[in-house]
Amino acid sequence: MKKFITIILIISLVMTLGLAGCTNEAPEEPVEDPSGENEPEEEQENEGTSGNDEVEYGGVLKIAGESEPGNLNSIIWPTTSDTNVTHMIYNSLVIPDEELEMVGDLAESWDITEDGKTYTFYLHENVKWHDGEPFTSDDVAFTLRSMAHPEYDAGSTSRVTPILGAEAYRNGEADSIEGIEIIDEYTIKITTEEPYAPFLASLFIGVLPEHILGEISPAEWAKHDTNRAPIGTGPFKFKEWETGQYIELEANDEYFKGEPKLDGLIYRFGDVNTMLAAFMNNEVDIAPIPVAEVESVSSLDFAEIKLQSMLSVYYIGFNLRNEFFDELEVRQALAYGMNKDLIVQSVLGEYGKVEHDAFPSNHWSHSPNITEYNYNPEKAEELLQDAGFEKNNDGYYERDGKVLGFTLEVPTGKQERERTAVLLKQDWEEIGVKVELQQLDFPTLVTKLLPQTKDGKQREVEAEDFDAYILGFGVEADPDEYRPYFHSAFMPPNGYNFCGYSDPEMDEMLNEQYKEVDQEARQEIFWEIGERLSEEQPWIPIYSQYSLFVANDKVKDFAPDFRGVTFKAEEWYLEQ
């Protein structure tokens, strides 16, 4: 059978998109080269049946993931591992299309007033929760209100703070949110304090059932049964979670957009090599694949390699509370001491591209004037010496008797990320910085970045919680998703700024961009934000990459993109 590579690309139109919208899942993950210079060779082949053959749907598809989800509540610190499952269980009010334009999901349509502040959403009327209860505008109001609740501390408050009265409600100064008005069972009106450019995109998050969680404080949700047995409105229903092994879903035959083509889906998780071996033994139908294994897997006569291009950048993040990382010279020295070109050549080859901006280089938020820290070990050492460090007899820089060293947290699951960490350690030790690599699974890393007290409450990050980590992050719907990571108001437990980055000028720019409804003016602000971050280096961008998957050729219509590998799972089917 002919072997081929089917490439799923985000078309370069993204570069010139108008205003889109917001969200992001906590930590995690890649991107294409819009110039086409670094695109892998491709062969195109049409999928599906030909002629007049009648397609027979059904079957249970098995897909492998790299990490086990932490929980299945859509607004409790959602990560990529979580949303790979929750995208199939919940619906959002709106969702992004392939061009980052927001389109209806639970909302059938909406109106916006001329002043840009009031949105009236008209909901689908034939939607049911998986337990048979009807979905109504009460559920939408409940979900939005929950993210502003005084006892909610799970990362998504920034999505709703622009709503009129949300801050007063969160501060305990009001019993309700003035800007949320239920017109009737299937109509809801939402008013913001002022025009808010990414408002529609901020609504790209799973809506929760009020009839199940309405009487429970959000502070208690992390312990609730629905974290491991969720009830949604989506195309698949939860069936079983076998800890450490898999999550099983079954088709929702009453799904308001039409019954899924599969009977069910099993989401397995484990070591990438184990999952790849399971694919080769026909135990799973889809699996992530390391770049190094593409050639060998392509030799299988039933395998198709799929490339997922995403608007993301892999980066090194620092805990700026650390006595070394709070110094700009140290961060810049580490940036100059990183041989990004060699890392991409060695680890990713044609499937990666060097990045210098926290914003993806093929997105309109990327500035053409970004500062580039190209490999320069001499410059790196000069900066360290200017900061008062001297080399000791072991070849490491130290100051005041303290060796310049740190632990780099490396989440397992991606060979490329693990190999990158090894090369970074070599680069940095060559310039005299001592580095220890700490491998851990992704949920464990999250507990360090978003720490809790002994009684399970989110708390502030401290210098001792972590030194540095390697992860990926990018745009799902709108670059405002970066705001909770870099605005000083969103340090845990109030958001995702676990690095502890605080800059009044950055806060001002991040606030200014979401108020600006003129796209060109907003782009200029984001360019300034990116340029400032590049100067400050709270994150050191490394590269963007295609995420690679291998699929059995009996799997049809599997087309992963930047919105998530399972985003359109209801359209997949198994050729019988």
d(CA 201, CA 496): 18
pLDDT digits (tens, 9 = 90+) for 474-517: 888 899 999 999 999 999 988 899 999 999 999 999 999 998 98
At residue 131, the pLDDT reads 97
> From the centroid of its chain, how far is CA 554?
29
CA distances from 337 to 113, 319, 330, 427, 543 (A): 52, 19, 10, 6, 15
pTM of the predicted model, to two decimals?
Answer: 0.75
Q: Supply 474's token pair.
A: 């990018």
Mean predicted confidence (pLDDT) in 9-31: 37
Angle 433-439-445 from CA coordinates, rounded to 5°: 100
Name the E strands within 320-379. 352-354
Please name which of 124, 108, 109, 169 lies closest in space to residue 142, comparing C-alpha atoms: 169
Predicted confidence at residue 454, as pLDDT, reads: 87
Average pLDDT, stretch 540-546? 94
Percent of the chain with pLDDT over 70: 91
Q: Write the pLDDT tens digit of every residue in 391-450.
A: 999 999 999 999 999 999 999 878 899 999 999 999 999 999 999 999 999 889 999 999
Q: What are the angstrom distances between the C-alpha of 465 and each of 77, 418, 493?
A: 18, 21, 14
Question: Mind listing the pLDDT tens digit for each residue in 352-376?
Answer: 999 999 999 989 999 999 999 999 9
Identify the pLDDT of residue 468. Answer: 98
Give the pLDDT band of residue 39 (cuts 50, 70, 90): very low
The percent of residues in the chain predicted with pLDDT above 90, rounded, is: 74
CATH label, 312-545, candidates 3.10.105.10, 3.40.50.150, 1.10.357.10, 3.40.640.10 = 3.10.105.10
Q: How many helices (H) and strands (E) does the chain have?
A: 15, 25
Give me the mean pLDDT over the 83-106 stretch.
94
The CATH number of the domain covering residues in 5-34+61-309+547-574:
3.40.190.10
Nearest to 29 by CA among 567, 471, 533: 471
Q: Euclidean distance between the first and final Cα of the chain, in Å? A: 17
CA angle 376, 377, 381 (to 5 degrees): 125
Instruction: Share the mean pLDDT of the chain.
Output: 89
Question: Tens digit of pLDDT for each residue in 225-280?
Answer: 999 999 999 999 999 999 999 999 999 999 999 999 999 999 999 888 899 999 99
Helix (H, G, I), strand (E, B), or coil: what is residue 110?
Answer: strand
Condensed to tens digits (0 to 9), the pLDDT of residues 128-148 reads: 999 999 999 999 999 999 999
Helix, strand, coil percentages, rounded to 5, for the chain: 30, 25, 50
Q: Which residues pair with 470 in a beta bridge?
A: 316
Residue 53 confidence (pLDDT): 57
Mean pLDDT of 339-347: 96
Cβ atoms within 10 Å of 418's Cβ, excluding its own: 18
pLDDT-based confidence at 569, cuts 50/70/90?
Answer: very high
Q: Which residues pair with 92 in a beta bridge?
A: 206
d(CA 485, CA 492): 10
Cα distances (Å, whole numbers) of residue 145 to 163, 180, 298, 418, 549? 10, 8, 49, 40, 38
CA 521 from centre of chain:
26
Cβ proximity of 366 and 530 under 8 Å: yes
- Provide the residue ranges of all domains of the chain, joining segments of one domain with +: 5-34+61-309+547-574, 312-545
Give the model confidence (pLDDT) of 196-213 as tens digits.
999 999 999 999 999 999
8-state DSSP, 87 = H
